[in-house]
Amino acid sequence: MPEPLLEAVGLSRTFGTVRAVDDVSLALAEGGSLGIVGGSGSGKTTTARILVGLERADAGEVRVRGTVRPSRVRGRRQRLARAREVQMVFQDPYLSLDPRTGVERALRETLRLHFPDRDPGPRTRELLDQVGLGSRAAGALPRELSGGQRQRVAIARALAVEPAVLVLDEAVAALDVSVQAQILNLLADIRAETPIGYLFITHDLGVVRCVTDEVLVMRHGRVVEAGGTAEVLAAPQHPYTRLLLDSVPRPGWDPDRIAAARQELTAVQASPPQEA
């Protein structure tokens, strides 16, 4: 088997008395797409933040191309090197974009920071074209763009550093359905053209079904089910996974059954998390 592009082994993270992440392991292949799905409080976003380096694990380790990544980084060189390993795209790109900086300038500044010996012009134009943004958007400020356009900017800026892995934390959750489809198609095209690996953090099983090869289902910080996406969604083995599936509307399904499943899911997710 080829060495995983990104691997986590035994990750744990505790906040106070709550185990937010409890012995989570995962592996993402080069060019692969892995989904982490679960409700609010399942630990999926904390897991993602550990993988990116925004949170420190209490236990376990993260490996990129087989090399253990240190929990602490010291100095500018190490910070830039880590950024080129894993980049994150958040649910609300407006919060991560400088409201005073235009799109093209933001991309040029990112490229100058990571590749000071290169002319940023050609790569900036390539990135804008890659994410489907024209000349008008290139000169715009974030507030002058639609939600879908801002998410394209966030993706372009993340791709600018040429990361091995792109982590997308509910990256299409705030978008209209039609815009979601456009962004997911864009990500599929980028994946087809590059060896980048995707890690999708989401509560939306429709997104997982469309864009991932493998899936992990998390509840209260633990992985309760894992496997190939098609297999898990076709024949879920864990009651929580079945409950997640039952709460998603599908053609021909009884609305009362869906409502009952959603009510049960809400009650399950509101149950007390495990204590450390």
Per-residue pLDDT of 2-24, as tens digits, reads 789 999 999 999 998 899 999 99
**Mean pLDDT along residues 47-72:** 91
Given a cut of 90, is residue 25 above it in pLDDT? yes
pLDDT bracket for residue 73 (50, 70, 90)? confident
Q: What is the DSSP string of 98-138?
A: -TTS-HHHHHHHHHHHH-TTS-HHHHHHHHHHHTT--HHHH
Instruction: Name the token pair of 45.
Output: 């976003």
**Mean pLDDT along residues 235-256:** 74
Q: What is the DSSP string of the chain?
A: -PPPSEEEEEEEEEETTEEEEEEEEEEE-TT-EEEEE--TTSSHHHHHHHHHTSS--SEEEEEETTEEPPSS--HHHHHHHHHHHEEEE-S-GGGGS-TTS-HHHHHHHHHHHH-TTS-HHHHHHHHHHHTT--HHHHT--GGGS-HHHHHHHHHHHHHHT--SEEEEESTTTTS-HHHHHHHHHHHHHHHHHS--EEEEEES-HHHHHHH-SEEEEEETTEEEEEEEHHHHHHS--SHHHHHHHHTS--TT--HHHHHHHHHHHHHHHTSPPPB-
pLDDT in tens, 77-91: 888 888 889 999 988
Q: Which pairing describes strands 222-228 and 6-15: parallel, antiparallel, or unpaired? A: unpaired
Q: Which long-range contacts (CB under 8 A, 24 or more apart) does 133-137 make?
A: 133/103, 137/103
**Mean pLDDT along residues 89-98:** 82
Distance CA 5, CA 66 (A): 7
CA angle 154, 105, 194 (to 5 degrees): 45
Instruction: Name the token pair of 72.
Output: 């602490």
Instruction: Name the token pair of 82.
Output: 């880590």
Give 101's Cβ-side CA count (13 Å radius).
16
| Choices 3.40.50.720, 3.30.479.30, 3.40.50.300, 3.80.30.20: CATH for 6-269 | 3.40.50.300
Distance CA 189, CA 209 (A): 17
**Mean pLDDT along residues 247-256:** 59
pTM: 0.86
